[in-house]
Amino acid sequence: MIAHAAELYRFRALIWTLVLRDLRARYRGSLLGFLWSFLNPLLLMLVYVLVFSVYLRVPMHGYAVFLFSGLLPWLWFSSSLGHATGVIVGSGALVKRILFPAEILPLVSVLSNMVNMLLSLPLLFAFLLVFGIRPGPTLLFLPVLLGLQLSLTAGLALALAALNVHLRDVEQILANVLVLLFFLCPILYPVSTVPPTLTLGGLVTLPLRPLYFLNPVAGLVQSYQNIFYYGREPHWIHLGMATLSAVLAVLGGYWVFDRLRDSLAEEV
C-alpha cells in the first residue's frame, strides 16, 4: 500500500492535470462555464428553502445557512461517488495502458468535486454575513473535516469503481443508496427532530439517535453545521466515528481495488 501511495505521489502532476481536464470538460460548451459550480448548489438550496422554510415553515433562523452548510459536503460526497463509480468503465483506453495506474481515475473524480465544493464556499460565507451569523474560531476545524471527508470518499470511490467494472449493477444500486442516505443525514432537518429512541410494536425500544450517527456522513454533515451555523466545535464522537470510517474506507477501498486491479483492463 505504501508503494502504491508513493506511486500516486509521483503522478501528482498528472492527477492535477486530469482534475483540471475534468472540470473543463464538465462545463465545456456551457454559456456560464465555471459559474455553474456556484449556481448548481445555490439553485438546489433555493428549492429546499422554498419548500421547508416558506411552505412548511421550519422554525429556524438562517435556515438557508443551516441547509447550505450541510448540502455542500453532501453534494461533494454524492457527486464524487456517482462519477467515480463509472469512471474506469468509461476510460478503457487509459486503463489498458501499461504504465497508467487506474486508481488515479476515481481519485480524480473525488478531487474535482472537492474543488467544486471549495469554489462554493464563498457563497456560504456570504449567507453567513446576510443572516448575521459570525463565524468563529471553530472554523479552524474545517481542514480537519475536509481531510476526513476526502479520505472517506476516496476509499469508497476506489472500491466502487473497481467493483462496478465486474458488476455493472453497482452504479444503479449506489444511486438508490445515495437517495436513502440523503434523508438519513441532518441536511434538511436539525438533529433535534430525530427521536432519541424508537419503539417497535410496543415491545422493543431502540436507541435511535446513536444508531442514526453510525452513519459517518451524518456525523460529518452535523460537524460542518456545527462550525458554520451553530458556531461550536464538532462533537468528539462524530469526529471519532468519521476518523474510524475514513481509515476503514481507505484500507478497505485499497484492498478491494488491489484485488481487482489485474482484471480491470480485461473487463473494460
pLDDT of residue 6: 74
DSSP 230: I
Give dist(CA 106, CA 197) in Å, integer. Answer: 38
pLDDT of residue 30: 67
pLDDT of residue 266: 75
Cα–Cα distances in angstroms (integers) from residue 196 to residues 3, 68, 179, in the given order: 46, 25, 23
Nearest to 177 by CA among 85, 63, 45: 85
What 3-state class would DSSP assign to 88?
A: coil
Contacts of 151 (CB under 8 A, 6+ apart): 246, 247, 249, 250
Do residues 67 and 48 make contact, with C-beta atoms less than 8 angstroms apart? Answer: yes
DSSP 204: E
pLDDT of residue 33: 65
Burial of 30 (0-12, 13-18, 19+ CB in 10 A): exposed
Question: What value, to the nearest 5°, has the Cα angle with vertex 35 and ends 34 and 41?
Answer: 110
pLDDT of residue 95: 75
Cα–Cα distances in angstroms (integers) from residue 121 to residues 114, 182, 226, 228, in the given order: 11, 20, 15, 11
Do residues 249 and 151 make contact, with C-beta atoms less than 8 angstroms apart? Answer: yes
Give dist(CA 180, CA 173) in Å, integer. Answer: 11
Do residues 186 and 225 make contact, with C-beta atoms less than 8 angstroms apart? Answer: yes
Give dist(CA 47, CA 152) in Å, integer. Answer: 28
Domain ranges of the chain: 2-267
Nearest to 27 by CA among 105, 86, 115, 103: 115
Per-residue pLDDT of the chain (268 residues; tens, 9 = 90+): 766 677 777 878 888 999 988 888 877 766 666 677 777 888 888 888 888 877 777 778 888 899 999 999 999 999 999 999 999 988 777 777 767 788 999 999 999 999 999 989 999 999 999 889 888 899 999 999 999 999 999 999 999 999 999 998 999 999 999 999 999 999 999 998 888 887 777 677 778 888 899 899 999 999 999 999 999 999 999 999 999 999 999 999 999 999 988 887 776 6
pLDDT of residue 66: 93
Question: How many residues would you count in the chain?
Answer: 268
* Longest CA–CA separation in the chain, Å: 61
pLDDT of residue 158: 96
For 224, the grid coordinates are: 460542518
